[in-house]
Amino acid sequence: MTTAAPIEATFAPVRSQTAFEETLERLGTAVKLGLLRPGDRLPAERELCAMMGISRSTLRQALTALVQTGHLRAVRGRGGGTFVAESPPAVAAPTRAVAQRWRDVCDERLAVEVGIAYLAAERAGAGALEPLDALVTQLDDMLDDFPAYRQADVRLHIGLAELTGCAQLVVLATEAQGAMTDLIANIAHPPEVLAVSNGQHARLLLAIRRGEAVRAMQVMAEHLRATEHVLAGLLPGP
């Protein structure tokens, strides 16, 4: 495989709090841009972990997700390893409008939902969180059924807005979720990604239950930034 500078940047240490998603973005983008070419073999897991400063479990999660999306293929036995797939993933290309606006959509959602997390932690009673706890449990059983997962995911995020007691925030959260639904329809949804995302939901609800408003904001921001990493790595096109 090539050792050009862009590849060195791809395998540079991951410094984000969302290590799994950032690793997925780095590798997915390198494949998408042709920095990792069809048939290229990735470095061994131990070497990649050392280069990127991540745990083996994080790397394996990211590699598994990218195999599931069709970016990579895993070969066992002698001469095996992880290789760039010969053909691109079979996902629809986004419209030009989506390609141009996706970061704006994510920014708008970030501005709305981080504030919602803060207010929910300040205002929500413990009993009000029970329906959202139930949704997190349900989501864990929907990792192989993205349409069902997405419906429950939307209900959870709008439910968080309802905890604030502000009707206008519920409207804004609903609009943000609608825009995101249109956007993420353009990418694959491997169970590994959904499982990590739902773990973030659980941590978010814990912070809200404890009334830790600043922590709730931090977890929500990490959750939304994680989605941006996945979009950057999996959206078709440069």
CA atoms within a 13 Å half-sphere pointing along the CA-CB vector of 111: 8
Paired with 187 in beta bridges are none
Of 32, 61, 84, the domain-final residue: 84
The CA distances from residue 194 to 8, 110, 162, in Å, are 29, 19, 23
Same domain, 156 and 186: yes
DSSP 225: H
**80 burial level (CB within 10 Å; 0-12, 13-18, 19+):** exposed
Same domain, 130 and 168: yes
* Inter-residue contact 13 to 52 (CB < 8 Å): yes
What are all long-range contacts of 31-35, with beta carbons under 8 Å and residues at least 24 apart?
Answer: 31/66, 31/71, 31/72, 31/84, 31/85, 32/71, 32/233, 32/236, 32/237, 32/238, 33/6, 33/238, 35/2, 35/4, 35/6, 35/7, 35/10
Convert 123-152 to b/e letters by CB count within 10 Å (16 or more is b): ebeeebbeebeebbeebeebbeebeebbeb
Same domain, 183 and 207: yes
CATH number at residue 60: 1.10.10.10
* Inter-residue contact 56 to 45 (CB < 8 Å): yes
Same domain, 77 and 108: no
Q: Model-level pTM? A: 0.81
Can you give the pLDDT of all 238 residues of the chain as single tens digits?
444 455 677 888 887 778 999 999 889 888 887 788 899 999 999 999 999 999 999 999 999 999 988 889 998 877 788 999 988 564 455 555 556 688 899 999 999 999 999 999 999 987 899 999 999 999 999 999 999 999 999 999 999 999 999 999 999 999 999 999 888 888 889 999 999 999 999 999 999 999 999 999 999 999 999 999 999 888 876 5
In a domain, residue 159? The reply is yes
Same domain, 209 and 158: yes
In a domain, residue 89? The reply is no
Same domain, 107 and 52: no
Total domains in the fold of the chain: 2
Same domain, 45 and 153: no
Strands (E) located in the chain = 72-75, 81-84
Q: Alpha-carbon distance 202 to 137, whole Å? A: 9
Same domain, 116 and 35: no
Same domain, 134 and 168: yes
Domain around 29: 5-84
Q: What is the pLDDT of residues 120-137, one digit of tens each?
A: 999 998 789 999 999 999
Same domain, 105 and 206: yes
Q: What is the pLDDT of residues 61-109, one digit of tens each?
A: 999 999 988 889 998 877 788 999 988 564 455 555 556 688 899 999 9
SS3 assignment for 150-215? HHHHHHHHHHHHHHCCCHHHHHHHHHHHHHHHHHHCCCCCCHHHHHHHHHHHHHHHHHHHCCCHHH
Same domain, 105 and 217: yes
